[in-house]
Structure 1
Amino acid sequence: MTTPLPLCIIGAGSIGMRHVEVASLSPAVQITAVVEPHAPRRAELSAQGLTAVASIAEVPAETRAAVIATPTQDHAASASACLSRGWAVLVEKPTAATLTEARALVAEAEAAGLPLFTGHHRRCHPFSIAARDALAEIGDLVGVQGLWSLRKHDTYYDVDWRRAPGAGPLLTNLTHEIDLLRFFVGDMTEATALLSSARRGFVIEDTAAVAFRFAGGALASFLVSDAGASPWNFEASSYENPIIAGSGEDYLRFVGTEGALAFPSLTRFGRSGPGEIEWSKPLARSPGPAFERIDPLLAQIERFAAVASGGTDTVLCTGADGLAAMEMTLAAALSGKSGKPITPAEVPGDYTGV
């Protein structure tokens, strides 16, 4: 039996405790400590039977890996401190507060030969992994249409920071979709965005319409909104988040030269007979396979443990992938502010989308 990976979790907020939850369930890892600077919170953790310490310096010596779930502005400092100790690192998205910090962190991990991953866990769903093979069946990709829209309840915005610059759905929610599209299709090279705050009237956008160009020539259009009620979003489609009502409706459509694919059901539309596929011939509809529902955070931490123990993985979001998702998210934000297409190279290293 493989020895569990000794792992610490840095940050004991809501997402940090989700990592504690899945790590406690997994035989692949053993929690050595939870790092939490706030003394009353440490007392609560200790009462739960967890080893709680105030700083990374106090983490037990046998630790070999870390999950970082602190506020974004701390990601780079904590990740760097862990890498300096020779630990493998999984840092929640975004990889760092700025592109400059994220680039330095990726370079540090590469120089040290240590695994660095960003917590874009949606990749770990079985239907996400299967989508890459399914896309190969629809020919050369022409384009992608995406719709992520749900209506956040009014009291969600009673918290001041949720109405502050940077808290809109573009930076908060679209970044997940960008990473998933990159996982499916590959590199993006350009973003063009329109922003609107017409429905809620806040200083932040409530809706964004974004067009992307992929390196392979395909195009994508994506509408993201937290003001529009709909069944079309990842959370409802996948039943991933228990506080968001499920729908089972597909929210992504991929169009290729040989057919089309809906996600996450992986319903495929393709050739119905011999000869050229063209508009006078109906497309044959093939239902996608059934997938077991899993906890993607549990799958992610077990994949992380396998890599930290010397294995390889083609699913997890590497630090470089997390950096690329940041670049395109910020390119979309800058495009919305400037009114012109933006490439990743045009995004300043200190730009935060605000």
Structure 2
Amino acid sequence: MTAPLPLTIIGAGSIGQRHIGVAQDSPAVDVVAIVEPDETRRGDLAQRGLPMVAHLEAVPPETRAAIIATPTPDHWQITMDCLDQGWAVLVEKPTAHTVDAAQSLVDAATARGLPFFTGHHRRCHPFTIAARDHLRDIGDLVGVQGLWSLRKHASYYNAEWRRKPGAGPLMTNLSHEVDLLRFLLTDDITEVTTLLSSARRGFEIEDTAAVALRFSDGALGSILISDAGASPWSFESGSYENPAIAGSGEDYLRFTGTEGALSFPSLTRWGPSDADEIEWSKPLQRHAPVPFARIDPILEQLTRFARVADGANVEDDVLCTGADGVKALEITMAAALSGRLGQPVRAGDVPGDFTGV
């Protein structure tokens, strides 16, 4: 059996503590240090027996990989410091605060020959992986419709930065949907058009965004995303992924193709009922979904990351590469820019230094 990978986790906030929890339960890694600059939080975690340190320079030399779960503005410098140490890196999404910064991290990792991934963990669910095969059964993609709407509690906005530009569902939540679509579909998103509204919460930032998507093969899509609307429709509700969010089991994405349709995450599929032409006067046959075992996707992501980072030259086609993380960030920034300009924005037209504000 391969020895556990010596791992450092940087950042012990809410998402950092999720990484800490799964790492403690994983035989694939040995957590040799947790970097947390906040003295109070560091002290509290040290009392639980965790190997806390205040800064990167105090990390033990046996470290071979790092997970970075700090605020986004810190991603670039910390990731670069870790790469300079020769460590494999998994950085939480978004990869960095701008497209240029994210791309420079990919370039740095490539130059050093180091594994580098972005933490889009939704890819790691068994039903997400299986969805790619099911989508091949619906013919050529015509369109996709998504509805992500969860009403965040009022105290969520007690933190002032959550009411300011740079926050909001567009910058906070859309990148999840973008990476998921890029993972599931063979055609890339080339153009976005965004409408924004702050009518329900009345903050400076939007509470709702409607995003239209154009794909490279001509398929179209739309995503309505809101943190003001109460609904059972979201990835988290449909998948029961996050224990802090009430589950519903409802689908929130629908794909239509020339030969059928698929709803996600249940993977309920509709296809032809006979061998004749598929057209609207003939009923479609419903193929009931096969249930999948529920897993912790962050644990599965960690297991896959450790397997690649241990130096065994293992490849993984599920983890979000640094390059894929850049693409997800670029489309998210294009959506933000479109909302502010009031016009369509193509992916390649996003300024490299645009921060979404």
2: distance between equivalents of 1:79 and 1:242? 29
The aligned amino acid for 1:226 is D
The aligned amino acid for 1:288 is P
1:216 is displaced (CA, Å) by 2.4
Equivalent position SS for 2:190: strand
2: distance between equivalents of 1:14 and 1:222? 27
Cα-to-partner distance string for 1:169-227 (whole Å, 9 max, x where unaligned):
11111110011001011421111011011111111111111011112221111100111
Residue in 2 that maps onto 1:275: 276
1:43 aligns with 2:46: no
1:342 aligns with 2:348: no
2: distance between equivalents of 1:110 and 1:97? 20
1: distance between equivalents of 2:54 and 2:273? 63
1:79 is displaced (CA, Å) by 0.7
Residue in 2 that maps onto 1:34: 34
1:161 is displaced (CA, Å) by 1.2
2: distance between equivalents of 1:39 and 1:195? 39
Residue in 2 that maps onto 1:221: 222
2: distance between equivalents of 1:4 and 1:36? 23
313, 318, 324: which is aligned to 2:316? Answer: 313
Residue in 1 that maps onto 2:79: 79
C-alpha RMSD of matched pairs (Å): 1.0
2: distance between equivalents of 1:316 and 1:288? 25
Residue in 1 that maps onto 2:177: 177
Name segments (4+ residues, structure 1) moved above 6 Å: none
Equivalent position SS for 1:221: strand
| Structure 2 residue runs without a partner (length 5+) | none
1:39 is displaced (CA, Å) by 2.8
Residue in 2 that maps onto 1:24: 24
Residues 14-163 of structure 1 mapped to structure 2, 5 A cutoff: 14-163=14-163
Equivalent position SS for 2:345: coil
Residue in 2 that maps onto 1:304: 305
1:99 is displaced (CA, Å) by 1.2
1:200 aligns with 2:201: yes
Cα-to-partner distance string for 1:4-41 (whole Å, 9 max, x where unaligned):
11100011111111111000000011101001122333
Q: Bigger CA drift: 151-160 or 314-323?
A: 151-160
2: distance between equivalents of 1:276 and 1:125? 35
Residue in 2 that maps onto 1:164: 164
Equivalent position SS for 2:320: coil
2: distance between equivalents of 1:221 and 1:270? 22
Equivalent position SS for 1:131: helix
- What TM-score does the superposition give when structure 1 sets the normalisation length? 0.98
Cα-to-partner distance string for 1:260-309 (whole Å, 9 max, x where unaligned):
00000000000100111111110000011111111110000001001112
1:70 is displaced (CA, Å) by 0.9
1:2 is displaced (CA, Å) by 1.6
341, 350, 354: which is aligned to 1:351? Answer: 354
What is the total number of aligned residue pairs between the two structures? 354
- What TM-score does the superposition give when structure 2 sets the normalisation length? 0.97
Equivalent position SS for 1:328: helix
Q: Bigger CA drift: 155-164 or 17-26?
A: 155-164
2: distance between equivalents of 1:237 and 1:315? 21
Cα-to-partner distance string for 1:207-248 (whole Å, 9 max, x where unaligned):
111011112221111100111111111111011111211110
2: distance between equivalents of 1:165 and 1:219? 28
1:73 is displaced (CA, Å) by 0.8
2: distance between equivalents of 1:226 and 1:46? 35
1:42 is displaced (CA, Å) by 2.5
2: distance between equivalents of 1:158 and 1:328? 29
Cα-to-partner distance string for 1:70-112 (whole Å, 9 max, x where unaligned):
1111101111111111110000011011111111001101111
Equivalent position SS for 1:290: coil
